[in-house]
Structures are given as C-alpha cells and as structure tokens.
Homo-oligomer: A and B are copies of this chain.
C-alpha cells in the first residue's frame, strides 16, 4: 500500500528552502495528500512552489486527509529542525504518523521525539543517518557501464531534477538507466542512495564508489551531484563525489540569475566558462571525463529570455543546452546517446578487478 504523506514546510514554503517538498511533489505526487504551512493556509502548492497543481496547503494536522507519514520538507543550511516545528512533529507522532526527515539534526536521536514514537509505536526515519566507513579504492569498476554525473555552479539549482529527468528520459528510450541518489531528497524520491554530505569526510568518495559498484549492472548510471566546486562550505563534498563516482561524462547545471553563493551571499560565483574549466581539470586529474552538455534552470526568467540565454550559452561553449523542465531533456539525451555510441569511453577509467 502506498504511503499517504503530509509534507511539512511551516513558515518556509518557497521553492528554494522547500526543495525537498518541491521535488517530492514533482516526483511522488500520488503519495502526497497535503502540504502543511499555517502561514499559507488555503493556497495550493501549484501557486506557492510551481508544482503539484491544486494540492492543498492546510493549516494544521487536524485538517489533513487520512495520512500515515509526516515528511519534513526543507533542507536548510546546517540541516537543523526549526524550533516551531517541534510541536507539530510531536502532534503527528501522537496521531500515529511516522516521521520522515532528511535533516542533519536526527529526529530519531531526539529524546522527546524518540520517547513519543516508542510510546505510540511509529517510526522515525532519518534519511541522512549512516555509518559509511569504506574508503574509495577504485577497484572492480565495470568498464562498460556508462557513468554520467551532474555538476553545477551552486547548491539548489536543479542537479537532482536534471539527474532524474535524464535517467527517466534514457529509460523512455529503452536504455537501462539508473538514477543514483546522493542527497536526502533524491533518496526520498528514488527509495535508495546514500546521503554523501552526512558521511564522515574520509569515506565520502568511498560511499559514492560503493553505489557505483552496487548498481553497475545497469547500462547507464546518472549520478546526482552535490554542491559545487566553488562553494565555500561544501566544495569538498562535490569533489569527493566527482572522484568517487569516476564519471565518463558530465552535465553542467546552472540557474540563470544566480550570481552569489547560496548561504554565503557575499561570495560571487565564478563565470560558467571558469567553472567548466575547473570541472574539466578536476575530473581529468587521474581519469578521463568529458563535459557533454549544459542543463540550464530558467525558472526565474521569461520563455523569451530563457531561449536567448540557451542560444548564447550553446554558442559560447559549443555544447548542447536545455532546461530539462521547460524544454524537456531531449537535447541532452541525444548528446548522451551519441557519446555512448562512440564507445570510446569504454577504454577510459578502467580499474583493476576487485
């Protein structure tokens, strides 16, 4: 039986902070019965987040349709639970709902939540909780599984959405593709994956490599990127993942109008050209990798502005460019399939047998 989920975004229902909510509504609409934010009561998620159409925004759990799960729908910097949410979480537990969280602050480690959940017999699931302790060894990696990795110029710009759309698009073309989730929202959407940003630093690349080893029976892996190589707080997660998943091809993701780093607003993001050089250099440090295309996120601009930017960037870098939501992913899918058909990547990144 499918879950019936209320998504909690109380006080934070905007597309940026409520990234987890938006993506779950985009990809798991049939499991979600309502969004809870008393400050936006009576609106729809279509109005507030641009996804979900007429999915209702309710003001309290008492107004919710029957539901078995409360999903914490935000991903704030540092991953802390907003203080006003505690009472709502406790009320959900008392109503017999399980809690599904992707925050760094683990709900299952909170004594009050844990006691309430034990008393009521409900589950507290922390998607980020892990005990990964394997180092990357770059051994046993199949040479005929094509690995595509999304990278970008900042956090929260659509790397996960681009990855899901590419994997789904490849599947529609009859290719056995698998989305490899590396963050809390992707894991909730896909039902598997590892939360790399919450792994102990020495083992992040190892965790990425482990997912590749586990899933390389598929023909193509599309590995969700994290952060960016220039994010002052998270660049190391980005590089561990880039080196851990040993990709053959990169899709560079950026958002039009994003000029400064998320959460560190006084730091400017370098130009696309400079970033492409960085990713190219770091991805070719000791394996071979090619940038295959650019996924532009144009949600903040008009269709005409998006089209002009798309043409300009395609022209400047000689790469296929599209907004996977606005334009569909076909231009990038064509590029990935063309690259796959060259077969030359099969000679790249060969690793010793395990």
> Which A residues form the contact surface with B (CB < 8 A)?
77-79, 104, 133-139, 196-202, 204-206, 229-241, 243-244, 261, 263-264, 266-270, 277-278, 281-282, 285-286, 351-352
Q: How far is the CB of A292 from chain B (nearest CB, A)?
A: 21
Contacts of A206 in B (CB 8 A): 233
A79 to B142, CA, bound (A): 27
Closest 10 CB pairs between A and B?
Answer: A236-B240, A236-B236, A230-B285, A136-B233, A197-B202, A135-B233, A239-B239, A236-B239, A201-B237, A138-B232
A238 to B240, CA, bound (A): 9
A239 to B135, CA, bound (A): 17
- Please state if B232 and A263 are interface contacts (CB–CB under 8 Å): no
- Please state if B138 and A200 are interface contacts (CB–CB under 8 Å): no
- Please state if B243 and A232 are interface contacts (CB–CB under 8 Å): yes
A–B pairs, 25, beta carbons within 8 Å: A78-B135, A78-B202, A79-B202, A136-B232, A137-B233, A138-B264, A197-B201, A197-B202, A198-B200, A198-B201, A199-B201, A204-B236, A205-B232, A205-B234, A206-B233, A229-B282, A230-B285, A236-B237, A236-B239, A236-B240, A236-B241, A267-B286, A270-B286, A278-B282, A281-B281
Contact A196-B201, Cβ < 8 Å, known A137-B233, A243-B235: yes
Identity of the chain B residue whose Cβ is nearest the Cβ of A260 in the assembled complex: B286
Q: Which of A234, A261, A267, A269 has the most CB of B within 10 A?
A: A234
Contacts of A268 in B (CB 8 A): 286
- Please state if A202 and B233 are interface contacts (CB–CB under 8 Å): yes
Q: Which of B138, B239, B241, B269 contacts A266 (CB 8 A)?
A: B138
Identity of the chain B residue whose Cβ is nearest the Cβ of A351 in the assembled complex: B266
A352 to B229, CA, bound (A): 22
Identity of the chain B residue whose Cβ is nearest the Cβ of A208 in the assembled complex: B236
Contacts of A263 in B (CB 8 A): 135, 137
Contact A235-B229, Cβ < 8 Å, known A138-B264, A199-B201: no
Identity of the chain B residue whose Cβ is nearest the Cβ of A138 in the assembled complex: B232
Identity of the chain B residue whose Cβ is nearest the Cβ of A285 in the assembled complex: B230
Contacts of A261 in B (CB 8 A): 286
Q: Which of A79, A196, A204, A231 has the most CB of B within 10 A?
A: A204
- Please state if B205 and A235 are interface contacts (CB–CB under 8 Å): yes
Q: Which of B229, B270, B285 contacts A270 (CB 8 A)?
A: B285
Contacts of A238 in B (CB 8 A): 236, 239
Give 15 A-B pairs besides A201-B237, A235-B243 with Cβ atoms closer than 8 angstroms: A78-B134, A78-B202, A104-B200, A138-B232, A197-B201, A198-B202, A199-B200, A200-B200, A201-B234, A202-B237, A229-B239, A230-B285, A232-B286, A237-B240, A282-B282
